[in-house]
């Protein structure tokens, strides 16, 4: 081998060495990048899981469970002791989260004594209660608002408890200044959608069905309504993700849920009723639900006649496609669940029989046959 070949061989060896080193460097960089990406992903997952857990732990144990439990907090109890006690009694979900919440908010001044608390209470109310001793007292007044009640009926219930004139209560509930003051306190709940000129009563559907305790002999109407709106806001927080997924505003969702609530009977599957409404909207068909006609007429009847269907109103879903301008009653969580998680069916019609049974149909002919059998001859 001559000198030239030796030099070429040496250069080739060096080149191969360099390529090998470059390859190793690339591999090392790749491993480092994968490791860093994995760590970032892991940190992100842990952070998300932690956030979701804490967010869940901050919510009421059971928003629908108003069972009152007696919780005795001994003299000299520490924050750790109170947190553990509340978790053991089923009033909070996680003692550690509760403890950190108290420290973060710099809360103090908790009073010893026997408290009446429930699993439906938000964490803020629990803290307020054990600071003020509020729930150690018996409620001076209880107001129960059933599901499916319209605003005028709720006004009657409030008036019956407070001794006020029902007409004056109803008028105040619809007073523009009063409604605006509620909007200022609940801007995320009472949005500009309730200001639509087509909406008959702005607070319709927003006063949540529940039992409310008041600790003063004669609370003002403002105090009563604020508690009801708080309950609505707290309840809907658990549905925010589903509402976003379905692209519903609070107003639209409450409107839809009110239709299901008013059409439902004790025996009915609300998920199927919701599916019928969804299917009709998809097919560009009017919803044609009788309760909207009765709401438009301002009357309560057991049966809607053909002449009633001609009423001129944006609430008349026989004349107008889509949802009405606003809720026609208050809706409970069962109807809200049905709207946000309806059953999957291909039904386009349903019929409530006088016996309370609900019959579903895919075609108008089948629907009319069932109507003739169960309704027309009654």
CA distance 360 to 350: 4
Tokens of 68: 């009152």
CA distance 89 to 69: 8
- Which pLDDT score is estimated for 206? 97
CA distance 186 to 144: 22
Looking up tokens 């979900």 gives 93
Give the residue from 179, 235, 190 showing the smallest Cα distance to 210.
235
Give the residue from 126, 113, 164 showing the smallest Cα distance to 143.
164
- Which pLDDT score is estimated for 13? 61
Distance of CA 225 to the CA centre of its chain: 18
- CA angle 340/342/345 to nearest 5° reads 155
Under DSSP, is residue 175 helix (H, G, I), strand (E, B) or coil? coil
Q: What is the pLDDT along the chain (378 residues), one digit of tens a residue?
A: 555 555 556 666 666 666 566 666 676 677 777 777 777 777 767 666 655 556 666 788 888 887 778 888 887 778 888 888 888 888 888 888 888 887 777 777 677 777 888 888 888 888 887 876 554 456 788 999 999 999 999 999 999 999 999 999 999 999 999 999 999 999 999 999 999 999 999 999 999 999 998 878 889 999 999 999 999 998 998 899 999 998 999 999 999 999 999 988 766 788 999 999 999 999 999 999 989 988 988 866 566 666 777 788 999 999 999 999 999 999 999 999 999 999 999 999 888 887 777 888 889 988 888 888 877 554
Contacts with 50 (C-beta within 8 Å, 6 or more apart), sequence order: none
Asked whether 260 and 205 are in contact (CB, 8 A), the reply is: no
pTM score over 0.75: no
Written as one string, the DSSP assignment of 134-171 is GGGSPPSEEEE--TT--HHHHHHHHHHHHT--HHHHHH
Looking up tokens 């009977």 gives 265
Torsion angle of C-alpha atoms 365, 370, 376, 378, degrees rounded to 10: 180
> Residue 118 phi/psi, 5° resolution?
-135, 155
Q: Hey, CA dihedral for 134, 136, 139, 144, is it positive or negative?
A: positive
> Residue 229 phi/psi, 5° resolution?
-70, -35
H helix or E strand, kind and range, residue 340: helix 333-340
Give the residue from 245, 214, 236 showing the smallest Cα distance to 331.
236
- Exposed, middle or buried, 44 (CB in 10 Å: 0-12/13-18/19+)? exposed
Segments of 98-148 assigned E as strands: 113-117, 141-144
- Exposed, middle or buried, 281 (CB in 10 Å: 0-12/13-18/19+)? middle
- Which pLDDT score is estimated for 378? 47
Looking up tokens 């069962």 gives 334
Length of the chain: 378
Q: Give the Å distances, CA to CA, from 244 to 46, 59, 160.
A: 24, 19, 38
H helix or E strand, kind and range, residue 236: helix 221-237
């Amino acid at each position: 081998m001559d000198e030239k070949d030796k030099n070429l061989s040496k250069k080739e060896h060096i080149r191969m060495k360099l390529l090998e080193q470059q390859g190793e460097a690339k591999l090392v960089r790749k491993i480092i990048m994968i490791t860093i990406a994995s760590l970032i992903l892991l940190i992100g997952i842990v952070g998300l899981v932690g956030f979701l857990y804490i967010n869940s732990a901050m919510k009421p144990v059971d928003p629908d469970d108003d069972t009152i439990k007696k919780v005795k907090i001994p003299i000299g109890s520490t924050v750790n002791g109170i947190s553990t006690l509340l978790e053991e009694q089923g009033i909070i979900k996680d003692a550690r989260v509760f403890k950190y919440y108290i420290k973060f908010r710099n809360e103090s001044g908790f009073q010893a004594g026997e408290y009446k608390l429930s699993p439906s209470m938000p964490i803020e109310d629990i803290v307020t209660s054990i600071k003020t001793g509020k729930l150690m007292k018996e409620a001076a007044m209880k107001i129960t608002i059933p599901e499916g009640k319209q605003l005028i009926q709720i006004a009657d219930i409030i008036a019956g408890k407070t001794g006020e004139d029902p007409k004056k209560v109803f008028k105040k509930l619809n007073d523009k200044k009063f409604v605006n003051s509620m909007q200022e306190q609940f801007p995320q709940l009472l949005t500009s959608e309730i200001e639509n000129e087509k909406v008959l009563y702005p607070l319709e559907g927003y006063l949540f069905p529940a039992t409310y305790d008041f600790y003063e002999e004669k609370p003002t109407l403002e105090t009563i309504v604020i508690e009801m709106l708080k309950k609505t806001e707290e309840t809907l927080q658990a549905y925010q993700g589903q509402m976003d997924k379905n692209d519903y505003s609070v107003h639209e969702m409450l409107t839809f849920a009110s239709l299901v609530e008013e059409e439902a009977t004790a025996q009915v599957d609300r998920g199927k009723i919701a599916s019928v409404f969804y299917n009709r909207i998809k097919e560009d068909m009017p919803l044609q639900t009788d309760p909207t006609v009765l709401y438009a007429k301002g009357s309560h009847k057991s049966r809607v006649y053909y002449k009633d269907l001609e009423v001129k109103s944006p609430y008349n879903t026989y004349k107008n496609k889509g949802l009405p301008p606003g809720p026609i009653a208050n809706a409970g969580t069962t109807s809200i669940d049905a709207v946000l998680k309806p059953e999957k069916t291909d039904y386009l019609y349903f019929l409530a029989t006088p016996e309370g049974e609900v019959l579903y149909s895919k075609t108008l002919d089948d629907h009319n046959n069932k109507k003739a059998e169960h309704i027309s001859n009654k």
